Amino acid sequence: MLRALRIALVQLAVGSDKKKNIAEAVKQIHMAKQQGAQLVALPECFNSPYGTKYFNDYAEEVPGGETSLALLRAAAEAGVCVVGGTLPERCGDRLYNTCTVWDGCGKLLAQHRKMHLFDIDIPGKITFKESEALSPGDQFTTFDYEGVKIGIGICYDLRFSEMSHVLASKGCSMLIYPAAFNMTTGPKHWELLARARANDHQLYVALVSPARDTEASYVAWGHSTLVDPWGEVVGKLDENSGVLVCDIDLNKVEEVRNQIPIRSQRRTDLYDTITK
Ligand SMILES: NC(=O)CC(=O)C(=O)O
C-alpha cells in the first residue's frame, strides 16, 4: 500500500471564457505532473464563473461533455489522478454542482454532486441562493486511489460535520473539497473549518479554491490549503493563481489515530452518530 502521496492543489484563475478555463486546467495538470504530483485537484466551478446566472449556460453532461473529455484525456496523458474541481452538470432538466474524479488511465472513478446547497443571506455582505438554479446531490462519495481512500465534498458541504463524519466512517484518510468561499466567509471560516474537520476525524483535508478576481460578480477568497491529521496547516496559497504541491504522509493518519484514540472512545451509548 502506498504510504505517501504527492498532491497538487491548483488555484486556477477562472474567467468567462470556458475553453480558456479548460485549457488552463489541462496545462496545470501537466505541469503538476512534472513536479511529481500523483493526484491533481482543481477548484470549484473551474470551467465557469461562479454564480447562479451562469450555471445553465456553462452546464454539460457528465461524462459526455467537453469538460469531462478534456479532464479524462489530461488524466490519461499525464498518468495522474485528477479530482476535477466542479462544473455545472446537466442531467435531464436538472443542474448540479458536480465533481468528477479520473484515474491515471482516464477512467471516471467517482462523481460527487454538491449535497448542501449554498443558500445564505448576510445583509449588506452577501446573499447567494444556489437552490435557485441547482438541485442537491444525495450520495456520499469516496474513491480509492493507490490504496488510499479519499472522500469528496464541495464547498458548503465543508460546514456539515455530520457529512465528514460519514466519510471518515467509510475509511477515508483524506477529504478533498473543491470550494469557493468569499470575502465575507473566507477570512472567518475557511481555515477554521478545514482544521476542524481534520482534527475531528484525524485525516488530511484539502481545500481548492479559484484564484481571487476582484472584477467577478462573486469574489473568491482563494487560499487553497492543506491541513494534516493534527489539524496543522501544511501549506496554503495566497489569493493569486498558483499551485500548492505537498506530500501526504499516510503514516501520520495512523499515528495520530493511535496516539489519540477518539475513534474508539465515542460514547455512542449516550449519543447517536449518523453513519448510514
Ligand atoms: N460557496 C459555498 O458553497 C460556500 C461558502 O462560500 C461558505 O460556506 O462560506
Does residue 190 have a pLDDT over 70?
A: yes
Q: Is the CB of 55 under 6 A from ligand 1?
A: no
Identify the three-state secondary structure at position 153: coil
Does residue 9 have a pLDDT over 60?
A: yes
Write down the pLDDT at residue 146: 87
Of 130, 164, 182, 221, the residue with max ligand 1 atoms within 8 A of its CB, to mutate for a pocket test, comes to 182
Does residue 184 have a pLDDT over 70?
A: yes
Does residue 16 have a pLDDT over 70?
A: yes
Whether domain 4-260 has CATH 3.40.30.10: the reply is: no
ipTM: 0.98
Cell numbers that stand for 14 in this block: 477562472
Does residue 154 have a pLDDT over 80?
A: yes
Write down the pLDDT at residue 147: 86
* Residue that has been written with the C-alpha cell 446531490 in this structure: 137
The C-alpha angle with vertex 235 and arms to 234 and 241, in degrees rounded to 5, equals 165
Expressed in angstroms and rounded, the spacing between residue 98 Cα and the centre of ligand 1 is: 15
By percentage, how much of the chain surpasses pLDDT 90? 95
Mean pLDDT, the chain, rounded, equals 96
How does 188-212 read in b/e, with b if 16+ C-beta sit within 10 Å? eebbebbbbbbbebbbbbbbbbbbb
Does residue 233 have a pLDDT over 90?
A: yes
Expressed in angstroms and rounded, the spacing between residue 51 Cα and the centre of ligand 1 is: 12
Q: How many other C-beta atoms are found inside a 10 Å radius of the C-beta of residue 141?
A: 21
Over its C-alpha atoms, the chain yields an Rg (Å, rounded) of: 18
Could you give the dihedral angle defined by the CA atoms of residues 108, 112, 113 and 117, in that order, rounded to the nearest 10 degrees?
Answer: -150
Does residue 166 have a pLDDT over 90?
A: yes
Closest atom of ligand 1 to CA, residue 155: 3
Query: Known catalytic residues?
Result: 44, 114, 155
**Confidence class for position 276, pLDDT limits 50, 70, 90:** low
Amino acid in the structure at residue 14: V
Task: Give 67-105 pLDDT, tens digit per residue.
Answer: 999 999 999 999 999 999 999 999 999 999 999 999 999
**Confidence class for position 3, pLDDT limits 50, 70, 90:** confident
Task: Kindly report the pTM of this predicted structure.
Answer: 0.97
Domain boundaries, given as residue ranges, for the chain: 4-260
Q: What are phi and psi of 133, to 5 degrees?
A: -120, -25
Write down the pLDDT at residue 80: 98
Task: Give 29-82 pLDDT, tens digit per residue.
Answer: 999 999 999 999 999 999 999 999 999 999 999 999 999 999 999 999 999 999
Task: Give 131-149 pLDDT, tens digit per residue.
Answer: 999 999 999 999 999 889 9
Specify the residue with its C-alpha closest to ligand 1, atom 8.
156
Does residue 207 have a pLDDT over 80?
A: yes
